[in-house]
Amino acid sequence: MIPIFIGYDPREAVAYHVCSNSIVRQVSQPVSLNPLALRNLGFYVEKHTDGSNHFIYSRFLVPHLMEYRGWAIFMDGDMLLRDDITRLWELRDPTKAVMVVKHDYKTRMTEKYLGSKNENYPRKNWSSVVLWNCEHPANRALTPEFVQGATGAQLHRFTWLEDDLIGELPKVWNWLPDEFGANPEAKLLHFTLGTPCFHEFATTPMADEWHRERMLMDYSLQRVTPQP
């Protein structure tokens, strides 16, 4: 069973469901899909006020939620799988505390969905897809109290880890089509500037695949009644 935690923001709930559908349609082994929603985290009080989404800090609670055992995947809700997520799972390296796509880029927009500021900073988007080695001793630092009190820079730059504990994933597992353009080889699309459910991002590169997945998510076979 692959434990997958997906960021959930009620302001774009459709994004979570489309992402989940894209996983289920293609995965080849059992998965557990867990919405990382603040409403479900009674033990954690979100004190940060600088986030652009509701799960910007709670993602760092995944090792705690897993009771510091085994591995888990975290991914933002504004994503779309184009391949079997088992192939991402198979990239686990037990010598690493986390594994991420190590993006190094400057954003093309200073504002993203719903008017949120979009600033450049070191290791931008590294934490949007994380293979968590939850039982690694270094991740024991990620208690709810630590996450509540840490700054965004401390968490999103993985400052509690030595650099050699941060493993690298291929960029196709966190491809940003709205920043980098279309990529037919991408395995996971991340609409980081805005999910195509928002009108101003409805036609960004590869958004047509997201819209198709949304229709598949909303699909229901209907019985056709013969006409007399």
**pLDDT computed for residue 110 by the predictor:** 66
> Is there a contact between 227 and 45 (Cβ–Cβ < 8 Å)?
no
**pLDDT computed for residue 111 by the predictor:** 67
Q: What is the model's pTM? A: 0.92
**Domain ranges in the chain?**
2-217
Report the alpha-carbon distance of residue 80 to residue 73 in Å, rounded: 14
**pLDDT computed for residue 171 by the predictor:** 97
The architecture (CATH level 2) of 2-217 comes to Alpha-Beta Complex (3.90)
**pLDDT computed for residue 178 by the predictor:** 93
In order of 21, 135, 176, the CA distances from 148 in angstroms are 31, 21, 28
Condensed to tens digits (0 to 9), the pLDDT of residues 33-82 reads 999 988 888 887 777 766 666 788 899 999 999 999 999 999 999 999 99
**pLDDT computed for residue 153 by the predictor:** 87
The 10 Å Cβ neighbour count of residue 218 is: 11
Q: List the structure tokens of 23.
A: 């996983």
Q: What angle do CA 21, 53, 182 make, to 5 degrees?
A: 55
Residue reference for tokens 């919405």: 35
Q: pLDDT below 50 — which residues of the chain?
A: none
